[in-house]
Amino acid sequence: MKFTPFSGSILHLLSFKSSPFLIIMIVSAVIMLLQSCFFNGEVALENQVIQKGNNYLVGSSACMSCHSDIYNDFIKTSHKSSTMSPSKENIRGSFDEGKNSYLFNAYDGVLMKHLDSGLYQVNFYDSKFVKAYPFDMVIGSGTRGQSYAYWVNNQLFQLPISYYTNEDAWSNSPGYQDGIANFGRVIRQQCLSCHSSNADLITDVNHNNQGFEKSSIVYGINCERCHGPGGNHVDLFTQNPVYKGGNLIVNAHNLSNQQQLDACAVCHSSNASNPTTASAFATGDTLDHSQVQTNTVKKVDVHGNQYGLLLESKCFTNVKTMTCSTCHNPHQDQANELVMFSQKCMECHLPETDKFCKMSNKIEASVLKQNCIDCHMPNTESQILNVKLDTKETNTSAVIRSHLIKVYPTKSKDISALFMQTKLDSSMLPTN
Show contacts with ligand HEC in window 121-150 (CB under 6 A).
139-147
Instruction: Give the shortest CB-260-to-ligand HEC separation in angstroms.
Output: 6
Among positions 35, 87, 177, 238, the unique one binding ligand HEC when judged by CB under 6 A: 238
Q: Is 273 in the site for ligand HEC (CB under 6 A)?
A: yes
Among positions 18, 166, 247, 395, the unique one binding ligand HEC when judged by CB under 6 A: 247
What value, to the nearest 5°, has the Cα angle with vertex 358 and ends 357 and 363? Answer: 80
Instruction: Give the shortest CB-324-to-ligand HEC separation in angstroms.
Output: 3
Instruction: Give the shortest CB-216-to-ligand HEC separation in angstroms.
Output: 15
Residues 283 to 302 in contact with ligand HEC, rule: CB under 6 A: 302
Among positions 40, 182, 325, 391, the unique one binding ligand HEC when judged by CB under 6 A: 325
Residues 27 to 56 in contact with ligand HEC, rule: CB under 6 A: none
Cβ-based nearer residue to ligand HEC, 34 or 303: 303
Question: Which of 151, 149, 169 is closest to 92 using CA atoms?
Answer: 169
Backbone Cα Rg of the chain: 24
Q: Is 194 in the site for ligand HEC (CB under 6 A)?
A: yes
Cβ-based nearer residue to ligand HEC, 17 or 406: 406
Residues 163 to 192 in contact with ligand HEC, rule: CB under 6 A: 190-191
Instruction: Give the shortest CB-296-to-ligand HEC separation in angstroms.
Output: 15
Cβ-based nearer residue to ligand HEC, 122 or 345: 345
Cβ-based nearer residue to ligand HEC, 98 or 351: 351
Instruction: Give the shortest CB-206-to-ligand HEC separation in angstroms.
Output: 24
Instruction: Give the shortest CB-40-to-ligand HEC separation in angstroms.
Output: 20
Cβ-based nearer residue to ligand HEC, 11 or 146: 146
CA dihedral 393, 399, 355, 298 (to 10 degrees): -80
Residues 81 to 100 in contact with ligand HEC, rule: CB under 6 A: 82
SS (H, E, C) the chain: CCCCCCCCCHHHHCCHHHCHHHHHHHHHHHHHHHHHHCCCCCCCCCCCCEEECCEEECCHHHHCCCCHHHHHHHCCCCCCCCEECCCCCCCCCCCCCCCCEEECCCCEEEEEEEECCEEEEEEEECCEEEEEEECCEEECCCCCEEEEEEEECCEEEECCEEEEHHHCEEEECCCCCCCCCCCCEEECCCCHHHHEEECCEEECCCCCEEEECHHHCEECCCHHHHHCCCHHHHHHHHHCCCCCCCCCCCCHHHCCHHHHHHHHHCCCCCCCCCHHHHHHCCECECCCCCCCCCCCCCCCCCCCCHHHHHHCCHHHHHCCCCCHHHCCCCCCCCCCCHHHHHHHHHHHCCCCCCCCCHHHHCCCHHHHCCCCHHHHCCEEEEEEEEECCCCCCCCEEEEEECCCCCCCHHHHHHHHHHHHHCCCCHHHCCCC
Instruction: Give the shortest CB-95-to-ligand HEC separation in angstroms.
Output: 18
Instruction: Give the shortest CB-390-to-ligand HEC separation in angstroms.
Output: 18
What Å distances lie between residue 99 and 34, 164, 386, CA to CA?
23, 13, 21
Cβ-based nearer residue to ligand HEC, 100 or 279: 279
Among positions 38, 86, 132, 268, the unique one binding ligand HEC when judged by CB under 6 A: 268
Q: Is 63 in the site for ligand HEC (CB under 6 A)?
A: yes
Cβ-based nearer residue to ligand HEC, 26 or 58: 58
Instruction: Give the shortest CB-177-to-ligand HEC separation in angstroms.
Output: 15
Comparing every residue's Cβ against ligand HEC, the nearest one is: 230
Q: Is 307 in the site for ligand HEC (CB under 6 A)?
A: yes
Residues 398 to 427 in contact with ligand HEC, rule: CB under 6 A: 400-401, 403, 405-407, 409, 412, 415-416
Instruction: Give the shortest CB-191-to-ligand HEC separation in angstroms.
Output: 3
- One-letter amino acid identity for 216? S
> Strand pairing of 118-125 and 137-139?
unpaired
Residues 358 to 397 in contact with ligand HEC, rule: CB under 6 A: 358-359, 363, 368-369, 371-373, 375-377
Residues in the chain: 432
- How many CB atoms sit inside 10 A of residue 362's CB? 11
Instruction: Give the shortest CB-396-to-ligand HEC separation in angstroms.
Output: 14
Q: Is 113 in the site for ligand HEC (CB under 6 A)?
A: no
